[in-house]
Amino acid sequence: MMNSLMTPEEFADAAHVSRETLGRLLAMDRVLIDWTARHNLIARSTIEDRWRRHYLDCAQLAPLLPAQARSIVDLGSGAGFPGLVLAAMLAEKDVHVTLIEATKKKVAFLNAAATAMGLTNAAVIPERIERAVLPGRPDIVTGRALARLDKLLGYGHGIGGETARYFFLKGQDVEDELTQAAKSWHMDVVRHPSLSSPGGVVLEIGNLARVSKP
C-alpha cells in the first residue's frame, strides 16, 4: 500500500489499534487539521498521507516498548508525534506520557488535542527540554524530527539518565548519526526497520552513558 494514501481504517489495521484508540486519534486529527490550516504544525506535503507518514510512523513504537514501562517523556512534542499517539494507544495500560514543548502555539495545540481526545494520561510541560523539571526519571524517552542523534542523546540523558530506554525515529542518515554520536556516548543500540518509511529506522537505545574524557 506504499503507493496509495493510507486511510484511518487501514492505519488501524496496520497498527492493530482498537476502535476506541482510533476514535481518540480521529479526535486528535480533527484538531490537527483545523490548526494546520492556520499554523505550520506539520509539513503541508505530508498532510494528504498523514495516516502513514505521521500516525503509523509513531504508532509503530508502541509494541516495541517494554511491557513494564509506566512513564514516557516525549522530547519536543510539536504536533503530538509521537507523544499524543502513544498516549492514545496506552490510555488503558496505566502508562503516563509527558510531552515537553517550548513553542507556545504548539503547547496550545497539544493541550487542545489532548482535551479533545479525552486523555487523562498525558501532561504538557511548556518549557525547553534542558530546563524541564520532572518528578523522577521516566522509563522511556522518545523523540522524532527534533535533532541529530548526538544532540538528541544529550537532551535525553538529562531527562532519563542511564536507566531509561530511548526510542528515536530516524531517517536514512541514521548510520552517519550513530557514528558521530559514538564519539560522545556509550550505548547499546537495536535497529528496528520502519513500518512507514522504506529508508527509516526506529533506534532503541539502552545503557546510555557519556564517554569519559581523557
A 10 A CB-CB count for 175 gives 11
Reported as a single tens digit per residue, the pLDDT across 59-82 is 999 999 999 999 999 999 999 999
Q: How far apart are alpha carbons 64 and 84 in whole angstroms?
A: 17
Question: Residue 40 has what pLDDT?
Answer: 87
Q: How far is CA 113 from CA 15, 176, 204, 205, in A?
A: 21, 35, 27, 29
State the DSSP code for 172: T
Q: Give the mean model confidence (pLDDT) for residues 164-188.
A: 96
Beta bridge partners of 202: 169, 192
The CATH number that domain 8-210 falls under is 3.40.50.150
- Chain-centroid distance of CA 115 in Å reads 19
Contact, 126 vs 168, CB < 8 A? no
Reported as a single tens digit per residue, the pLDDT across 189-204 is 999 999 999 889 999 9
Model's pTM, two decimal places? 0.95
SS3 for 11-78 is HHHHHCCCHHHHHHHHHHHHHHHHHHCCCCCCCHHHCCCHHHHHHHHHHCCHHHCCCCCCEEEEECCC
